[in-house]
Structure 1
């Protein structure tokens, strides 16, 4: 994928909703934890919440925004942490990426280990409740 400031023209881009008006804080975390680069940030009319942010993480796009409860119905509101999904990063060194994320504030849930499918693989949870898996090939040659 080539680096396009407007974002990808194909593919799938995760778009995360961050609760408690912490999207700006989340951007800082993703920069520290995963080496993200910020591509765009748009503040809402209230001057406080982010209505859109676009990051690049390891060559892929990640979008996020603050929560806007005034625009969602009761079925969309959930008081618990995000669940049912995992964001996966395929990287060159799973141990180094994992350690950097934990140092930045992620919670270690499954330290990297050698897996039967041929990856060094681990999982962690970021400060906003999102689960991330990090993997790198065991056979790099």
Structure 2
């Protein structure tokens, strides 16, 4: 984190965990992965727990990523958000790690072939409104489930000229979901995963340039432009993941999203991101749990947690 040394924050978090005191959520995702182990082991009768955790456990932590770009949601009411994802999209919970006050410090869910991560909002880290494109087996049924779970309709299910039947909703936590079923060779469009982050920036051209320069993104298809020249839709590939975006409009306004990004070379990606206009939140650092990480904020306010296994 920018104002607190990682080890000091880890000490404070473990002390709070062992003492049963409420603790604000750490939104360094890697620190969260360490603390989830601490939560599991806090009841073991070992007086050397803290030193063993930092000296032995952390270097052997496995990399959890199964995709290059992992959406990281920050919401108020993360437990209810998990329920929404399970009931609406059939998400499967892989991990849930509560803080001492019972709120969720970190959780990981799988939706089809895709992973999403999340944490509870706190006074230090406000909730974020995420944009997501998700493919489902039956768009109409998923749309109805979303409304039954408290979502608001932005666009009812409609057959689109580009080959999918889709709808848009805003969930009870403020996130926008573009729900779709591919109409030929479906339900997922070839080349896509079930879940894809979808940005609505002000200036898609500039964001495309940033992603290409910073993370080596390549265009997946030709950007679709409106008659006035704005990009209504574009998609790029970074590693094994796709990122989508469309110019902000109507109810789809610019938001600040978080992406947990795995790359081959953290330092090189960080340096390219800074040259492309990103601001440093935390420079590349070897973490005691086996990864080298950097944290940057892009020119549009989105947060990128850049990670490479050591």
Question: TM class, shorter-chain normalised?
Answer: 0.7 to 0.9
Q: Which residue of 1 aligns with 2:255?
A: 82
Over aligned residues, Cα RMSD in angstroms? 2.0
Q: CA deviation at 1:86?
A: 1.6
In the alignment, is residue 119 of structure 1 matched against residue 291 of structure 2?
Answer: yes
Q: Which residue of 1 aligns with 2:247?
A: 66
Q: CA deviation at 1:6?
A: 4.3
Task: Identify the structure with the greater helix proportion.
Answer: 2
Q: CA deviation at 1:48?
A: 2.3
Q: How does 1:19-58 map to 2 (within 5 A)?
A: 19=202, 22-40=203-221, 41-44=223-226, 46-58=227-239
- Counterpart CA distance in 1 for 2:220 and 2:261 is 19
For normalisation by structure 1, the TM-score amounts to 0.78
Q: Which has the higher contact order (CA 8 A, sep 6+)?
A: 1
Question: Number of residue pairs matched?
Answer: 122
> Where do 5+ consecutive residues of structure 2 fail to align?
1-66, 68-188
SS, match of residue 7 in structure 1 = coil
- Counterpart CA distance in 2 for 1:7 and 1:47 is 29
> Where do 5+ consecutive residues of structure 1 fail to align?
none
| Superposition misfits of 4+ residues, deviation over 2 angstroms | none
Q: Which residue of 1 aligns with 2:23?
A: none
For normalisation by structure 2, the TM-score amounts to 0.37
Q: CA deviation at 1:116?
A: 2.9
Q: Which residue of 2 aligns with 1:16?
A: 199
Q: Which residue of 2 aligns with 1:137?
A: 309
